[in-house]
Amino acid sequence: MHPDYHNLHTFGCVCFVHLPSHKRHKLTAQSARCAFMGYSAGQKGFLCYDVVTNHLSMFRNVIFFEHEYYFQQHIYCSNGVMLPTFDDISPPVMRYQLGFVYSRR
Structure confidence by residue, pLDDT tens digits, 26-80? 888 888 899 998 888 888 889 999 888 888 889 888 999 888 877 766 555 555 5
**Which pLDDT does position 54 carry in this prediction?**
86
What are the residues facing 89 on neighbouring strands?
none
**Residues 70, 50: Cα–Cα separation, whole Å:** 10
Q: Three-state SS for 32?
A: strand
For the entire predicted model, the pTM comes to 0.62
5 pLDDT more than 70: yes
Per-residue pLDDT, averaged over 72-97, amounts to 56
Asked if residue 88 has pLDDT above 80, the reply is no
pLDDT score for 16 = 92
